[in-house]
Structure 1
Amino acid sequence: MRGEALETQVLLPPFVEKSSFDDLAGVLSFYEADLECSTCVVHEEYRRWNAKWTEVPEAARPAIDTLNQICPIIFPKMATLLQISAVLPVTTSSVERTFSVLRLLKTYQRSTMNEERLNGLTLMRIPPQVCVSPDEILDALALKPRRLDLVL
């Protein structure tokens, strides 16, 4: 799904002139039920959409405001595809969760911790996509003895 969602960007006015209808093949097959029409109808509408934005100077082509400027009566299928692409999530929260865990682990008191040990502790705290047991991580950490800095 993610690849098809990214392919909808060829409908945005800054990219439409440099793209072709073939670039939408994956999008059309994936969202076939939402469009409720044949490929020929979408192809003709895409041709008119492309012609509309080719006449506009490149500097005046909106990227963000396209959905507000589209007329759903004239371009119903393009409006549908742009609405679908507008509601798709841009990022995932898994990366944000990873940094939150790292912020909890890497406190001021633990700032002398070496990178390998920090990576091991971080992997233990992140919700696992891949099953890694704590024993495997502890075994990997036990391979190198830790040095303690004793200050007298």
Structure 2
Amino acid sequence: MKPWEEVESALLRYSDFLDPPQVVKAEHELWRTMWTNKPALGRPRSAVEALDACSHELMPNICKLLEIMAALPVTTAEPERFFSRVSLAASSIRATMTEDRLEAICMLQVYRQCPAVTSDAVLEVFSKTQRKKNFVL
């Protein structure tokens, strides 16, 4: 629902995936006209909601732009935080553990405020799994 000038920059960036600019501009005008008379509460609030409301047959280029917009991350903070935790967790001591356990440790470090994980719950799961050695709790 942005003006054409703002959409045009996306058109230049993703021109390999879209039709010629005249076709995209016509679809954009149709898209804006479709939402002009709708109340603000009836309009989509995210790219995913807009993609659900977009007709793939009438506006394939707008749908393609919405798919790209929905797939792009808003920030890179989450992946960067995760990778920094992986480098901290993947020490030489932990080199012998399985990938599943390393991934679980990293997730616990990133999401420390997880209320469902308590030491009692971990001990309960640990005690139910079969081990080579017997542990007495």
Q: Quickly name the TM-score band, shorter chain normalised.
A: 0.5 to 0.7
The structural deviation recorded for 1:97 is 4.0
Provide the residue aligned with 2:10 in structure 1.
Answer: 27
Aligned equivalent of 1:7: none
Question: Runs of 4 or more off by more than 4 Å in structure 1?
Answer: none
> SS at 1:71's partner residue?
coil
Report the CA distance between 1:70 and its aligned residue.
1.1
2:63 matches 1:79: yes
1:47-81 per-position Cα deviation (integer Å, ceiling 9, x unaligned): 11001011110111112321112110111110011
Name structure 1 gaps, 5 residues minimum. 1-15, 105-152
Letter in 2 for 1:31: Y
TM-score by length of 2: 0.54
Structure 1 residue 94 corresponds to structure 2 residue 80 = yes
Indicate yes or no: 2:12 matched with 1:40.
no
RMSD: 2.2
Bigger RCO of structures 1 and 2 (CA < 8 A, at least 6 apart) = 1
State which of 62, 68, 78 in structure 1 corresponds to 2:44. Answer: 62
- Partner amino acid, structure 2, of 1:89: P
Q: Percent identity?
A: 29
Matched, 1:53 2:39: no
Q: Number of aligned residue pairs: give it.
A: 85
Instruction: Using structure 1 for the length normalisation, give the TM-score.
Output: 0.49
Amino acid in structure 2 at the alignment position of 1:63: R
